[in-house]
């Protein structure tokens, strides 16, 4: 059985002992019912992964404390190439699923975009999103927590990135005569743009194509946002490896 994974931003390569955050300590003791002496893993979201051993658990009513001895820690290289996801958020829990899928697939940065046909306009700085990213990091043992941006309009974000852009899930996009510069993408990163359920507007699509975005799709049908994200990220991994 694999070790349970916990998240602690203060973990460093030279850490010898750590007190887990309150929510992680509660999960360790009350939910998982781990004991002193059990082995666990800890990640910090910045690429450090550690093997640890529980050395103390203290219960205080509804609160809990847990301290761990760090056995070993190592720095894991960041995902390469760096992948950025520009995505129009779907409604409700579908966005939560999307965030988890993107994290498990090694996305470095997620930028929610508000498009002409967006069906969901989430509040800026939604803290709950970060918690879903942390859960996905722990589940997949990915020590790199993706950066999550506040929602921003399509027009405002268009000029930001220097990555090679891929325009996702556009069956009518057609084939390109020339292959994209994959070597540039491997060195400088790649970005996947996925629009809302209604798709990008023609003006938005034209704007991306004017930036030499590469249209990609995995079939003849229109995909839901939460389907397009893992399907097209998987395709990008395959061509950029």
Please tell me whether residues 24 and 96 are part of one structural domain. no
Please tell me whether residues 60 and 87 are part of one structural domain. no
Please tell me whether residues 66 and 91 are part of one structural domain. no
Average pLDDT in the chain:
89
Please tell me whether residues 92 and 65 are part of one structural domain. no
**Residue 136: predicted pLDDT:** 97
Last residue of a domain, one of 75, 102, 134: 75
Please tell me whether residues 21 and 126 are part of one structural domain. no
Please tell me whether residues 106 and 223 are part of one structural domain. yes
**Residue 217: predicted pLDDT:** 83
Interatomic CA distance for residues 226 and 241, integer angstroms: 23
Whole-structure pTM value: 0.89
Last residue of a domain, one of 75, 102, 132: 75
Please tell me whether residues 54 and 147 are part of one structural domain. no
Count of domains forming the chain? 2
Please tell me whether residues 111 and 186 are part of one structural domain. yes
**Is 139's pLDDT higher than 90?**
yes
Please tell me whether residues 183 and 216 are part of one structural domain. yes
Give the ranges where the chain is alpha helix by DSSP (H): 22-26, 93-104, 127-140, 154-157, 182-188, 202-210, 225-240
Last residue of a domain, one of 45, 75, 105: 75
**Residue 183: predicted pLDDT:** 87
Please tell me whether residues 133 and 96 are part of one structural domain. yes
Which CATH number goes with the domain that contains 91? 3.40.1280.10
**Residue 1: predicted pLDDT:** 54
Q: What is the mean pLDDT of residues 126-132?
A: 84
Which CATH number goes with the domain that contains 23? 2.40.240.20
Among 157, 165, 166, 100, CA closest to 133:
100
Q: Write the pLDDT tens digit of every residue in 49-72.
A: 999 999 999 988 778 999 999 999
Please tell me whether residues 57 and 153 are part of one structural domain. no
Residue 103's φ and ψ, nearest 5 degrees, are: -65, -45
Among 140, 128, 113, CA closest to 45:
140
Please tell me whether residues 20 and 106 are part of one structural domain. no
Q: Write the pLDDT tens digit of every residue in 167-222.
A: 987 665 444 445 678 888 888 889 999 999 888 999 999 999 888 888 888 877 78
Sign (positive or negative) of CA dihedral 129, 130, 136, 139? negative
Domain that holds residue 116: 83-240
């Amino acid at each position: 059985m694999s070790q349970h994974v916990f998240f602690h931003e203060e973990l460093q390569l030279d850490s010898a002992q750590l007190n887990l955050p309150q929510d992680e300590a509660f999960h360790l003791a009350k939910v998982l019912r781990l004991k002193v002496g059990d082995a666990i893993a800890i990640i910090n979201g910045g690429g450090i992964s550690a093997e640890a051993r529980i050395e103390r658990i203290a219960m205080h009513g509804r609160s809990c404390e847990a301290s761990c001895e760090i056995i070993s820690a190592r720095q894991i290289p960041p995902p390469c190439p760096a992948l950025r996801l520009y995505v129009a958020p779907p409604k409700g829990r579908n966005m939560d699923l999307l965030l988890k899928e993107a994290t498990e697939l090694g996305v470095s940065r997620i930028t929610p975009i508000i498009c002409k046909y967006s069906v969901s306009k989430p509040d800026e700085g939604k803290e709950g999103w970060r918690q879903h990213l942390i859960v996905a990091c722990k589940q997949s043992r990915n020590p790199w927590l993706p950066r999550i941006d506040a929602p921003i309009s399509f027009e405002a974000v268009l000029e930001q990135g220097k990555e090679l852009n891929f325009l996702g899930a556009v069956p009518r996009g057609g084939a390109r005569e020339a292959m994209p510069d994959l070597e540039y993408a491997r060195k400088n990163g790649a970005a996947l743009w996925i629009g809302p359920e209604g798709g990008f507007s023609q003006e938005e699509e034209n704007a991306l194509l004017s930036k030499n975005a590469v249209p990609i799709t995995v079939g003849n049908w229109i995909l839901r946002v939460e389907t397009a994200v893992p399907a097209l990220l998987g395709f990008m991994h395959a061509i950029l490896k």
